[in-house]
Chains A and B, each alone.
Chain A
Amino acid sequence: MLSWLTVILACQLAGELIVKAAGLPVPGPVAGMVLLFCGLVIRRGIPGGLQRVGDALLANLSLLFVPAGVGVMLHARLIGKDWLPISVALIASTALTIAVTALLMAWLNRLGTHREAPEEGGDR
């Protein structure tokens, strides 16, 4: 367990270093996620210990947002002042994103099955 936790922290650390050194526009932990993903692809499987550590971290993922969420008390004035643009932007943008993504994915899937229909499992 401890050694796999170390691997996860090391991925994050390496991610932070790469992002800083190369001036990449992604957060360090995301670079760490890509590193770990590449490691799993190379290794062709998820080690049991890593699976357990990952499950433990992700099982209570929403708890981890709480300390940052409480930071809302620092911005109460800002939110109070801009409540209208915030509410409209959240509702309209969420609805629009769902519609655009679903329509495109459904259309591309239909396109793909039509093209692939003659020879099953043809490579792309």
Chain B
Amino acid sequence: MHSVRDIWVYLSASPLLNLTLTLAAFQLGAFVYERAGRNPLLNPVLLAVAMIVAVLMATDTPYTTYFDGAQFVHFLLGPATVALAIPLYRQLDRVRRSGPALIASIAAGSLTACGSAMGIAWGLGASRDVVISIAPKSVTAPVAMGISEQLGGLPSLTAVLVILTGILGAMIGPGILNLLRISDWSARGVAIGTASHGIGTARAFQVNEVAGAFSGLAMGLNALATALLLPLLWKLF
């Protein structure tokens, strides 16, 4: 028994264990998601987070120890954000064609998302940390976390709220758009991408090619718009 404990002490002090745990949990989550016919409720990130938290709590491992291993994955968020320039550039022609309409709608959507989230949370008595962290909830996670950190929020709380927002948008978005009788695929795509970033975009692509392309574009532009507008809005708040 003694030697098993020695091995555990050795492993738990090495970043390798938690790095492997992160990759394995995500792949298990992705497998379940695929098997369930891509049910938005079984989002792979949500499943992976739940599994990892359960393991960490069962083994009494603090988050800082976990992060020593997981930081190698976390670090890639920065380069991945830079790489978002590539799909954005691919849509350059489309942006030029419907440029003004696109910019106006996304700016309005960005302000609505931040303003209403902060206003409602604040009005219902949420703490200051929650009000700041929920503000960039509609922005793709790497950018949202950067904005949250900059405004003095909690980036890890923002990450969770962003993922929940994406799942929500993918679930309720099509219903709302049908209710409003929006049949214009570009408008549907822009709305889903602005409100619910990559998770909504993945859903939009399943429904319609044009909606998917506009949704991806809106996700990128909304990240930029919110990064610029939210700090200004926050000063007024």
Contacts and interface: CB of A to CB of B under 8 A. Distances in A.
Given A54-B86, A86-B130, A101-B105, A67 B120 contact: no
Interface in B161-216: 161-165, 168-169, 172-173, 176-177, 180, 182, 184, 186-188, 190-192, 194-196, 198-199
A32 B191 CA distance: 26
Interface string A79-91: 1011011101111
A1 B13 CA distance: 33
Contact of A95 (B82, B124, B172): B172
A86 B121 contact: yes
Instruction: Label chain B's interface by main secondary structure.
Output: helix
B127 A100 contact: no
A73 B154 contact: no
Nearest to B49: A69
Contacts of B44: 62
Interface in B64-121: 66-67, 70-71, 73-74, 76-90, 92, 98-102, 104-106, 108-109, 112-113, 116-118, 120-121
Interface of B: 22-23, 25-26, 44-46, 48-49, 52-53, 56-57, 63, 66-67, 70-71, 73-74, 76-90, 92, 98-102, 104-106, 108-109, 112-113, 116-118, 120-127, 129-130, 134, 137-138, 141-143, 145-147, 149-150, 154-157, 159-165, 168-169, 172-173, 176-177, 180, 182, 184, 186-188, 190-192, 194-196, 198-199, 218, 220, 223-224, 227-228, 231-232
12 contacts: A40-B86, A51-B86, A54-B83, A61-B80, A62-B199, A65-B45, A71-B159, A78-B127, A90-B137, A97-B195, A101-B187, A101-B191
Interface of A: 5, 8-9, 11-12, 15, 25-30, 32-37, 40-41, 46, 50-51, 53-54, 57-58, 61-75, 78-79, 81-82, 84-86, 88-106, 108-109, 111-112, 124
Q: Which 9 pairs from chain A and chain B are nearest by CB? A: A71-B156, A27-B146, A101-B109, A67-B70, A85-B124, A102-B191, A25-B231, A108-B101, A29-B81
